[in-house]
Amino acid sequence: MIAFYLFGAIAIAASLLVIAQRNPIYSVLLLIASFGALSGLYVLLDAPFVAVIQIIVYAGAIMVLFLFVVMLLNAPHEETEHDERVHPLLRRGPMRFGGVLAVALLLELVWALTKRGGESGAFPSAAVSSVRDIGRTLFADYAFPFEVTSILILVAMVGAVVLAQREVPR
């Protein structure tokens, strides 16, 4: 219970700071901290496989890609010449709409989930946690989606190369 609140607090605080940071490098590093806390939550949920690939794939691969691009572009600071000191909820147009939308979404979901009925949401004691079971299901029942995933990765790789290449002078 204490571990849940600890990891949850770290995840929420780090995610909030990701949004609040002005320097994208700090945002990326804080998001890695948030992913570490989420990995701890996955361990609490008896999902060690997800916890490990969260660290390896997300924090290790995807976030390094982000960090690489942030350093490559060398534009660390957000150019906000307009309404620098105005609170996000008081700004014009879609920004205010988005802020209000996020607050409304949060209130709605917390209200809906805390106003539950009499049944307790406790977890059953038996858990499907072994990597063996997951691998068996993934490669037997979900073999076709798994193979389609490889095509998706190929398409994304080709697309990234085409989009990011310099235009060759003719």
Partner 1 sequence: MPSINDYLVLSAILFAIGTAGVFVRRNLITILLSIEIMLNAVNLTFVAFGRAFGAPEGQIIVFFVMTVAAAEAAVGLAIVIGLFRHRESLDPDTFTSLKW
Site for partner 1 in 115-134 (CB under 8 A): 116, 120-124, 126-128, 133-134
Footprint of partner 1 on 10-69 (CB under 8 A): 11-12, 15-16, 18-19, 21, 24, 27-28, 31, 34-35, 38, 41-42, 44-47, 49-50, 53-54, 57-58, 61-62, 65-66, 69
- Pick from 113, 156, 134: which is nearest to 51 by CA? 134
Please give, one letter per residue, the 3-state secondary structure of 69-115: HHHHHCCCCCCCCCCCCCCHHHCCHHHHHHHHHHHHHHHHHHHHHHC
With contact defined as beta carbons under 8 Å apart, do 25 and 13 qualify?
Answer: no
Minimum Å distance from CB 55 to partner 1?
11
Q: Which is nearer to partner 1, 164 or 168 (CB)?
A: 164
Minimum Å distance from CB 168 to partner 1?
14
